[in-house]
Amino acid sequence: PQKIIIDTDPGQDDAVAILLALASPEEIEVLGITAVAGNVPLALTQRNARMICELAGRPDMRVFAGCDRPLGRDLVTAEHVHGKSGLDGPVLPEPQMPLQDQHAVDFIVQTLRAEPSGSVTLCPLGPLTNIAMAMEKAPDIIPRIRQIVLMGGAYFQVGNITPAAEFNIYVDPQAARIVFRSGAPLVVMPLDVTHKALVTAERNDRFRALGTRVGVAVAQMTEFFERFDKEKYGSLGAPLHDPCVTAWLIRPDLFSGRHINVEIETASELTMGMTVADWWRVTKRAPNALFMGDVDADGFFDLLTERLARL
Ligand code: BDR
Ligand code: CA
């Protein structure tokens, strides 16, 4: 299995991404989960991460708290999408499993140094603060990263938090810039892909019909944030953003994209956090990311339903 660290700000869709990884031990070995401030403040994201591990029957998983604010800006949160707790929808018990003492950034650095070079994949599902901090603190880890598979950015689909920017990149554009310029191999799941992975009523019914605690909780989670996306985008259902990351690790054939140059806007207030993606290769800037454009949505939901049934 591929060794990964999930860096996350749960978030209902983060939760589903984590559940998918934990349900797939043949393909994925989760070394630890690091929480970051994003959808809601850090105190809630680290708690939510532990709640999800317990829901998955994995109280042994190690969860670390990381940065509680972006590198150079005030934190922007998204309670309007995810609810006050960040995980509104199901009623889950308060987690009993401990939060690790070590800081998430130190865990990331230590793990990349301890594991064989080129063996660990980072999977950021929120603002890139923890990852950028780790790179700044210990640049020696950068060539040791196998790849970074992240949810963030937008190109044809444009922004969801400002007209130009996607939430994860917008919250900490400075961190995103560090990561996109690091030289580490990047796989990016932008809104262009995730807005094709829509939880329709029928797909949600399949989660609920699993009849398990996990299946029902996932149905309740997606239903909660669907109310926002349906009204907002008039689409058939909510985009299931973050699970695209963990699905790609299992079934990369479900996705397609282009290896292109992607730069992050960090100066203009108007377009702050925009992912300037050279989709048509109109510059000579060197490609730094496999930027996804499409997903086989039926295949993606089949995979998700089949895996969630295992928990
Ligand atoms: C991203 O922002 C968050 O609200 C979601 O969890 C996802 O990671 C989508 O823009
Ligand atoms: Ca997220």
Q: Residue 282 C-alpha to ligand 2 middle, in angstroms?
A: 31
Helix 12-22 and helix 297-308: axis angle, to 10°?
A: 70
pLDDT, residue 127, reads 98
Instruction: Indicate if ligand 1 lies below 6 Å from the C-beta of 13.
Output: yes
The one catalytic residue in 80, 103, 195, 241 is 241
Instruction: Indicate if ligand 1 lies below 6 Å from the C-beta of 20.
Output: no
Q: Residue 284 C-alpha to ligand 1 middle, in angstroms?
A: 31
Low-confidence ranges of the chain (pLDDT < 70): 229-231
**Interior/surface letters 297-310, b for 16+ CB within 10 angstroms, e for the rest:** beebbebbbebbbe
pLDDT digit string (tens) for 17-43? 999 999 999 999 999 999 999 999 999
pLDDT, residue 267, reads 96
pLDDT, residue 309, reads 98
pLDDT, residue 236, reads 80
**ipTM, 2 decimals?**
0.99
Tell whether omega for the bond before 11 is within 30 degrees of 0, i.e. cis: yes
pLDDT, residue 89, reads 96
Taking the CA of residue 78 as reference, the ligand 1 atom at the shortest distance is: 4
